[in-house]
């Protein structure tokens, strides 16, 4: 037995057609109208199942903001030879949907229809096996959908929230703390997780969602979550996975506040840590204990610009069934993608290169879907939510990240060559200079050398301070990744919480100067450094 239902309008009016081409019309009551000539009672029963199911599925998809252009339903039923206690043995209800509909949301709509809504299904399932299947025919889109075939730069630009009815070209800012429900049932369904959608901007927001979607594509991650700052992201990448009695192995060369989380905050919860060398990989496996849960590293490190062999760590984490968490802030996903090397979690301070102009704060945690689910739950309860405005700025900034990083890297390499030859400079460290002790690894892991460079000025700490004070164009500020070149003395600022011994271990010499090389013309950057070196003698 075969029944076909065709949608007649944008409401819930269907025409049912049997094998003999007899027709019956059904509306959203759902009541059966028309002449009904040629339709047997058992066919009316199948048509009622299809119509009731269609009405519920379409209503759920509408609330999920899915675009359904057309729908048809085919019902195939196998009759019992012995029709007691029922007529049908098996029934297949097949949906043919045209439009922009996500398969997962359609599957959820079908499941809810079976579990809660379709009364005809609940009656008929008592005596017959009923199966729902579907086929989606995408309708033509005017907007290009980001795909794996697109290049990195195109994904950074063309990944965006779907246009609203206002037909805007640039994505609007959703500066709202909460979102309105269509009705009480939708509110209930969203809070229970039966229906996806925005509830409250601490949980999710369209601007934050776009930023995360874009970064997932650029990093090659399954899922992600945006936070209020980079340090909020670091903490959210650690706290959900470590409990009392657990142990974490980390490289010594980490940002100062990450160091304080590992050495001060986590131990208060009973979490132990072991620091190992950034460059001696044998120490990593030696430090693993039975209670070790995670490996953590930033590469290249801040500010020493030392590298971790990501392929080695990825294999080590797999061997011991550990989580590998990599801070990719200095490299950005344009230059390095740790997930390709086996990382499970990748963190970013989006405040730096991703913003690129020193305007807003933001952080990101990206990785495996099941892990990000834990990060989201932790962040939803503890509240380190990114503001919609900041998320909007950061997403727009990603559109220019590739061209900016190309210039940052080019300027930094030229500056490195200049400083290496300068008589007032003791040493220079830049990843893609052959003089870097891990030059081969840096070339293998990063497609360019990045925008960070360090040097040691002759004359120690006092000469370094005089040099900074003599700079005229370069900025002295507690940030990096800006369009404007920034000079910093890590020993007295960003890493001042470390004692002299700790600073030496992570590669911070007393006279070390860290440059975040900007987008100014390289001749102007060099000219300001040259005059400051001369004035600080």
pLDDT tens, position by position, for the chain (537 residues)?
787 878 777 655 778 788 888 887 765 444 444 445 556 777 778 888 988 899 899 989 988 888 888 899 999 988 877 756 667 889 999 999 998 888 888 999 999 999 888 888 988 888 889 999 999 988 765 555 677 678 999 999 999 888 877 788 999 999 999 999 988 988 998 898 888 889 999 999 999 999 999 999 999 999 999 999 999 999 999 999 999 999 999 999 999 899 999 999 999 999 999 999 998 999 999 999 999 999 999 999 988 899 999 999 999 999 999 999 999 999 999 999 999 999 999 999 999 999 999 999 999 999 999 999 999 999 999 999 999 999 999 999 999 999 999 999 999 999 999 999 999 999 999 999 999 999 999 999 999 999 999 999 998 888 888 999 999 999 999 899 999 999 998 887 777 777 888 777 777 888 899 999 999 999 999 999 999 999 998
Q: Which residues contact 29 (CB under 8 A, 6 or more apart)?
A: none
Rounded-to-10 torsion of CA 425, 353, 518, 430: 30
- Yes or no: say if 449 and 517 are a contact pair by the CB < 8 Å rule: no
Q: Clarify whether residues 244 and 360 are in a common domain.
A: yes
**Any idea how long the chain is?**
537
Q: Clarify whether residues 395 and 407 are in a common domain.
A: no
Task: List alpha helices for 423-459, DSSP H.
Answer: 439-445
Q: Is residue 165 part of a domain?
A: no
Q: Clarify whether residues 431 and 345 are in a common domain.
A: no
- Across 234-359, the runs of DSSP E, i.e. the strands, are 247-251, 272-276, 292-298, 323-327, 345-349
Q: Is residue 168 part of a domain?
A: no
């008589």: which residue's tokens? 423
CA distance 281 to 385: 36
- Report if pTM > 0.75: yes
- Please report, for residues 63, 194, 206, 308, 408, the alpha-carbon distance to residue 185 in angstroms, rounded to integers and kept in the order given: 10, 11, 22, 51, 52
Question: Cα 193–347–315 angle (5° rounding)?
Answer: 100
Q: Using the 8-state DSSP alphabet, how is residue 493 labeled?
A: T
Which CATH number is 440's domain given?
A: 3.90.1150.10
Q: How far is CA 524 from the centre of its chain?
A: 37
- Yes or no: say if 526 and 415 are a contact pair by the CB < 8 Å rule: yes
Q: Is residue 523 part of a domain?
A: yes
Q: Clarify whether residues 296 and 385 are in a common domain.
A: yes
Please say which residue of 399, 417, 438 terminates a domain.
399
Closest CA to 304 of 349, 252, 261, 231: 252
Q: Clarify whether residues 440 and 321 are in a common domain.
A: no
Domain extent at residue 410: 403-535
3-class secondary-structure state, position 176: coil
The total of structural domains in the chain comes to: 3
Q: Clarify whether residues 227 and 375 are in a common domain.
A: yes
């Amino acid at each position: 037995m075969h029944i076909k239902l065709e949608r007649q309008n944008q409401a819930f009016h269907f025409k049912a057609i049997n094998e003999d081409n007899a027709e019956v019309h059904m509306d959203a009551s759902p009541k059966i109208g028309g002449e009904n000539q040629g339709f047997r009672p058992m066919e009316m029963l199948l048509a009622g199942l299809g119509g009731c199911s269609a009405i519920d599925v379409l209503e759920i998809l509408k609330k999920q903001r899915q675009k359904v252009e057309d729908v048809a339903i085919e019902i195939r039923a196998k009759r019992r030879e012995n029709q007691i206690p029922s007529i049908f043995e098996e029934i297949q209800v097949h949906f043919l949907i045209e439009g922009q509909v996500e398969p997962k949301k359609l599957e959820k709509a079908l499941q809810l229809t079976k579990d809660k809504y379709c009364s005809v299904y609940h009656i008929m399932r008592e005596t017959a096996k009923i199966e729902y299947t579907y086929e989606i025919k995408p309708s033509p889109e005017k907007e290009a959908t980001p795909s794996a075939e697109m290049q990195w730069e195109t994904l950074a630009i063309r990944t965006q929230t779907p246009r609203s009815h206002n037909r805007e070209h640039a994505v609007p800012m959703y500066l709202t703390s909460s979102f309105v429900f269509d009705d009480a049932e939708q509110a209930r369904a969203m809070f229970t997780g039966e229906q996806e959608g925005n509830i409250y901007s601490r949980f999710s927001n369209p601007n934050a969602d776009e930023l995360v979607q874009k970064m997932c594509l650029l990093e090659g991650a399954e899922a992600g979550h945006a936070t209020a700052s980079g340090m909020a992201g670091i903490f959210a990448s650690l706290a959900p996975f470590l409990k009392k009695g657990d142990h974490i192995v980390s490289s010594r060369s980490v940002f100062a506040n990450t160091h304080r989380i590992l050495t001060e905050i986590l131990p208060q919860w009973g979490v132990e840590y072991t620091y190992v060398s950034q460059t001696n990989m044998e120490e990593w496996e030696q430090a693993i204990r039975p209670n070790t849960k995670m490996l953590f590293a930033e590469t290249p490190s801040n500010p020493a610009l030392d590298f971790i062999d990501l392929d080695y760590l990825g294999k080590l984490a797999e061997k011991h069934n550990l989580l590998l968490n990599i801070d990719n802030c200095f490299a950005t996903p344009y230059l390095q993608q740790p997930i390709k090397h086996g990382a499970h979690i990748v963190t970013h301070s989006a405040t730096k290169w991703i913003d690129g102009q020193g305007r807003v704060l933001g952080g990101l945690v990206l990785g495996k879907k099941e892990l990000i689910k834990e990060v989201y739950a932790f962040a939803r309860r503890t509240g380190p939510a990114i503001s919609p405005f900041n998320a909007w700025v950061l997403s727009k900034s990603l559109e220019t990240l590739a061209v900016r990083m190309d210039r940052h890297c080019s300027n930094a390499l030229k500056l490195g060559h200049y400083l290496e030859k300068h008589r007032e400079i003791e040493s220079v460290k830049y990843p893609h200079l052959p003089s870097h002790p891990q030059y081969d690894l840096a070339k293998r892991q990063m497609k360019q050398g990045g925008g960070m460079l360090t040097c040691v000025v002759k004359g120690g700490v006092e000469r370094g301070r005089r040099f900074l004070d003599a700079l005229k164009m370069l900025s002295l500020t507690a940030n990096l990744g800006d369009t404007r070149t920034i000079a910093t003395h890590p020993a007295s600022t960003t890493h001042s919480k470390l004692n002299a011994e700790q600073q030496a271990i992570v590669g911070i010499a007393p006279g070390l100067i860290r440059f975040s090389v900007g987008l100014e013309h390289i001749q102007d950057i060099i000219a300001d450094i040259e005059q400051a070196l001369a004035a600080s003698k």
